[in-house]
Amino acid sequence: MHMRKAFIFTLLLGLTSAVQAQRLERVAPEQVGLDSKHLQFADQAIQEEINKKEIPGAVLAIVRHGKLAYLKAYGNKQIYPKTVPMTTNTIFDMASCSKPIGAGISALILAERGKLRLKDPVNRYIPGFENWKPADGGEEVTIRIEDLMTHTSGLPPYAPTATLVKQYGSPNPDGLMEYICHVKRNFEPKTDFDYSCLNFITLQHIVEVVSGQSLRDFARENIYDVLGMDYTDYLPCKPNAKGIWENTVEPHWASLMPAGQDWKSLIAPTTKETDGSVVRLGTVHDPLARDLNGGISGNAGVFSCAEDLAILCACLQNGGEWNGKRILSKQTVEAMRRVPREVATIGRTLAWDMFTAYASNNGDFFSPETYSHTGFTGTEIVIDPVTDTSVIMLINAVHPDEGHSVVRLRSLVSNVVAASILQDDALWQDETHNAHWWKRYQEFMDDAPITSNDIVMLGNSLTENGGDWSGLGWKNVRNRGIIGDIIDGLDNRLHQILPGKPKKIFVMSGTNDVSHNLSTDSIVKLTDKLITRIQKESPDTKIYLQSLLPINESFGRYKRLTGKTEQFPEINAELEKLAAEKGIQFINLFPLFCEEGTNVLRKDLTTEGLHINKEGYKIWCKELKRVVKD
């Protein structure tokens, strides 16, 4: 290969690897000590709000021990003027969550580099910025950077956007900053708390003055690019000649879109305007951030998705470093997690919230060291460093109209997640749940939910290897087999199936239990337990208990099944009795697969003595269709 071509190929290969390495590892909740069955209560809480039309949809992500343990989309990302389903890669207007993940972290990076101090006066960087002046004419009190970050500066919460647009034009960041410099301060710094967008717009200007870059460029270069947050960006915008807001540049992710797909299609819409249009597709919802700051603003303006935010949470939980890339030192992250001593009773940390009235989204059960932030559009990030758990819930609650509250829902979800944390000794053991088991388990979690129209094939490798079971000729057949699974393994994942109340379940399991030296009696008791649970939790589901298939020891492949051939017909006889007791149908497949006059698996149906070939599946499907008439 030509030297230059070889270099380019190596470079491209490295870039591809970097892109692939940007996502957090996906795992099943139990692999990081979370109970996936309990997490279904979070699903229910979110779905209830969708059913009540309080929200159009949501995305929930849970990060623990540096891994993405839960990622689900609910409902729709758009319901006006048409309906578009929510997806896990939907990009949201992060609203005030932009404060910590944009301007806040940016300011701390500059402080680490010796470019500013948190105790520096604001007017050191913004000439003309007025300090607190007592009404009695006493000595003025300096407003410092740390006061901006903890919302204890005395600046009012917001500004009269329409008045300022009329005065300065739109957009006009300098005009907005001039207003903030002179607006009346509500109290002496550090004596009270007033959550203020003006604090972080001021912080934005400090970051820009010190760095010589726009907030967008600084955050891109020092946070999002470093961590591989490719779907996170500020989106500059301005009104065109007709007054319609348009983006002035494309976002970072535009170059990553498949050919022919508009980068705007990933964004969740926000509020329907009075003329029927929808603020969406890259135009920030917040009026100050949009009308005065043109989309790049310290108080709002970041657009992001759940998986990007999961990376950021993992980084912060890992002391400011992720995947070998560092954005903050461990000491800075720890400082960000605690309330400064001078405002200890107020509850705000450096850019985050711990225990003010705005922090109810932390819930009731996470540790007292939990810190978080929310956004007006419906977004939130909750991080508990003690349990090493982060919750990201993204909702476009302002679509199509404002006036919907997600305050209670946020707390409910945090409570469910906190309560789902298991003790280490409660984790399922690796010897019974190997890597393939977990991979399939995760696939089932990500798959479309089981419904009452579905037919479920539940079992081990014999079931999994049946693929889509197309030979049955039935609609809505769902393969829920996992290679190597045991009866307890089936029971451990019934919560992925039974809430959907499937039409039918075909059960086959026990061969791997035999290889683990379980007795016939134990296998039947475990099957009894499994059937009892299905009947209790989904009483209208029709259950078919299938016999075990025979084995052929002559191949010598499966040493743990040596001498077990005659146990299989014994088990089947007891399973048939169990089916009669439970009032369910027993399907005896065993004799169809035996060598004539024996209990041995036919050699023409297998290549290794346990699993069956294509012809074997034809026999299986034919028998199921013969027996099952409805």
Q: Per-residue confidence at 432, pLDDT binned at 50, 70, 90? A: low
Residue 435 has pLDDT above 50, yes or no: yes
How many residues in total does the chain contain?
Answer: 630
Q: Per-residue confidence at 424, pLDDT binned at 50, 70, 90? A: low
Query: Do residues 500 and 452 touch, judged by C-beta distance below 8 A?
Result: yes
Run of H or E residues at 316: helix 306-317
Q: What is the 3-state secondary structure (H, E, C) of 379-409?
A: CEEEEECCCCEEEEEECCCCCCCCCCCCHHH
Per DSSP, the three-state class of 393 is strand
The mean pLDDT of 361-390, rounded to a whole number, is 98
Tell how strand 237-239 and strand 245-247 pair up.
antiparallel
What does the buried/exposed string (b/e) look like for 238-261 if buried means 16 or more CB atoms within 10 Å of the residue's CB? ebeeeeebebeeebbbeeeeeeee
Tell how strand 585-587 and strand 542-546 pair up.
parallel
Q: Output the pLDDT for position 272.
A: 87
- CA–CA separation, 365 vs 87, rounded Å? 29
Residue 423 has pLDDT above 80, yes or no: no
C-alpha neighbours within 13 Å on the C-beta side of residue 462: 28
Residue 477 has pLDDT above 60, yes or no: yes
On average, the pLDDT of the chain sits at 94
Residue 151 has pLDDT above 50, yes or no: yes
- CA–CA separation, 550 vs 554, rounded Å? 12
Q: In what order do the strands lie in the sheet with 302-304?
A: 92-93, 302-304, 233-234
Q: DSSP 3-state helix, strand, coil percentages of the chain (rounded to 5)?
A: 40, 15, 45
pLDDT digits (tens, 9 = 90+) for 95-129: 999 999 999 999 999 999 999 999 999 999 999 99
- What's the chain's Rg over C-alpha atoms? 30
Q: Which of 226, 215, 227 lies closest to 312, judged by CA? A: 227
Share of the chain above pLDDT 90, in %: 90
DSSP codes of every residue in 522-552 = HHHHHHHHHHHHHHHH-TTSEEEEEPPPPB-
Taking each helix axis from N to C end, the angle separating 407-419 and 36-51, rounded to the nearest 10 degrees, works out to: 170
The mean pLDDT of 510-539, rounded to a whole number, is 98
Query: Do residues 509 and 516 touch, judged by C-beta distance below 8 A?
Result: no
Sign of CA dihedral 610, 611, 616, 622: positive
Q: Output the pLDDT for position 274.
A: 75
pLDDT digits (tens, 9 = 90+) for 4-20: 333 333 334 344 333 44
What pTM value is reported for the model? 0.91
Q: Output the pLDDT for position 280.
A: 64
| Amino acid identity, position 491 | D
Share of the chain above pLDDT 70, in %: 95
| Amino acid identity, position 105 | I
Query: Do residues 102 and 217 touch, judged by C-beta distance below 8 A?
Result: no
Q: Output the pLDDT for position 281.
A: 73
Structure letter (DSSP) for residue 426: G
pLDDT digits (tens, 9 = 90+) for 225-235: 999 999 999 99
